[in-house]
């Protein structure tokens, strides 16, 4: 599986007729838990984005309440407009998805109240950067347009930008980011070129970085594996936004919030994300009875069950309709029992 993602296939919030990637399969995975919870059903869309999945769920299940989270103010505002038809069945919060616990505890309105009282019937995480963010050139996510090197998913939050990373990290730090988060085999070579170039002039825009990458990556390597800037831009974005740490914190947090019978669905677009989800789900679905005993001890049975066999992928028809769905990997689990005590 390729470790490099394409942008998350989410169009502008008001795009008419837009169908989000794997919409029907995601709805199918969540539907049994929504139905079982009845009028108490709440789904958490932890990466609300343009609201495509949320709209489909809210229209398909007229009694469903939904909590939408997003760290991007612009995306959140657009999604609220798109989902206004749901009225008070919708609750939203401007937070990172690893802050889901605090958001649920502090939120006002029926969706938050039901989630606090009964837990979540479902949760959806559509990881990665969306097309909507890429389309905003000033955000600096896209390597195909010259724009300021920002890459913050929440520009209002302060914090370092991609330009800060390029202009301040030492060689070892920068090479680590490119190698670990971008799986870039020329990480050391690129880091050396960046340090040389920033002595001449600090990096400010994406165009200059792309030009450097064309020069730093050997021609033979540029002829395969997609755009030569793809890995570096992914690595910088992950570093700027602390994405993998957010996923590590969010995974146990959302599993703890699921009601018995509740389901969590994660959509990953690159191997680093999928690896974290795979590891957490495997641990959650494991029997913790000490080895060597003839039967499972009470309270040590698996807390969760896998709903997907490995990571599900988009089929040929989905990819033909939306090529950006090609890298998606879907994993889902269902809660089997409450925690002791």
Alpha-carbon gap, residue 113 to 118, rounded angstroms: 9
- Say whether 234 counts as a known binding-site residue: no
CB distance 214 to 228 below 8 Å: yes
Three-state secondary structure call for residue 67? strand
- Say whether 52 counts as a known binding-site residue: yes
Alpha-carbon gap, residue 74 to 229, rounded angstroms: 26
Task: For the beta carbon of residue 313, count every other beta carbon within 10 angstroms.
Answer: 15
- Say whether 85 counts as a known binding-site residue: no
- Say whether 133 counts as a known binding-site residue: yes
Sheet of strand 304-306: strand arrangement: 90-93, 65-69, 42-45, 120-126, 258-268, 329-335, 304-306
- Say whether 70 counts as a known binding-site residue: yes
Q: What separation in angstroms does the CA of 284 have from each of 29, 53, 171, 325?
A: 18, 26, 38, 27
Alpha helix segments (H runs only) across 242-333: 243-257, 271-284, 316-321
- Say whether 51 counts as a known binding-site residue: yes
- Say whether 281 counts as a known binding-site residue: no
Residues at the binding site for S-adenosyl-L-methionine are: 51-53, 70, 97, 126, 133
């Amino acid at each position: 599986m390729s470790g490099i993602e394409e942008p998350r296939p989410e169009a502008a919030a008001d795009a008419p007729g837009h169908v989000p990637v794997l919409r029907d399969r995601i709805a199918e995975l969540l539907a049994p838990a929504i139905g079982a919870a009845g009028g108490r059903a709440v789904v958490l869309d932890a990466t609300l984005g343009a609201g495509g999945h949320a709209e489909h769920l809210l229209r398909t299940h007229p009694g469903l309440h939904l909590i939408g989270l997003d760290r991007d103010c612009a995306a959140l505002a657009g999604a609220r407009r798109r989902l206004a038809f749901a009225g008070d069945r919708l609750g939203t919060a401007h937070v990172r998805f690893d802050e889901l616990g605090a958001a649920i505890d502090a939120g006002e309105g029926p969706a938050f109240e039901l989630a606090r009282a009964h837990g979540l019937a479902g949760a959806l995480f559509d990881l990665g950067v969306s097309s909507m963010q890429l389309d905003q050139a000033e955000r600096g996510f896209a390597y195909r347009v010259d724009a300021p090197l920002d890459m913050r998913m929440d520009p209002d939050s302060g914090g370092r930008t991609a330009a800060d990373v390029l202009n301040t990290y030492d060689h070892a730090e920068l090479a680590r980011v490119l190698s670990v988060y971008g799986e870039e085999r020329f990480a050391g070579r690129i880091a050396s070129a960046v340090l040389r170039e920033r002595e001449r002039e600090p990096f400010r825009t994406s165009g200059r970085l792309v030009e450097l990458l064309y020069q730093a990556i050997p021609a033979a390597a540029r002829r395969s594996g997609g755009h030569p800037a793809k890995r570096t831009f992914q690595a910088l974005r992950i570093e700027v936004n602390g994405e993998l740490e957010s996923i590590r914190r969010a995974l146990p947090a959302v599993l703890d919030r699921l009601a018995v019978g509740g389901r969590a669905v994660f959509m990953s677009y690159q191997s680093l994300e999928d690896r974290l989800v795979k590891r957490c789900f495997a641990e959650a679905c494991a029997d913790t009875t000490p080895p060597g005993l003839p039967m499972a001890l009470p309270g040590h049975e698996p807390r969760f069950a896998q709903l997907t066999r490995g990571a599900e992928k988009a089929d040929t028809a989905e990819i033909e309709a939306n090529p950006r769905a090609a890298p998606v990997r879907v994993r889902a689990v269902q809660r089997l029992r409450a925690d002791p005590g």
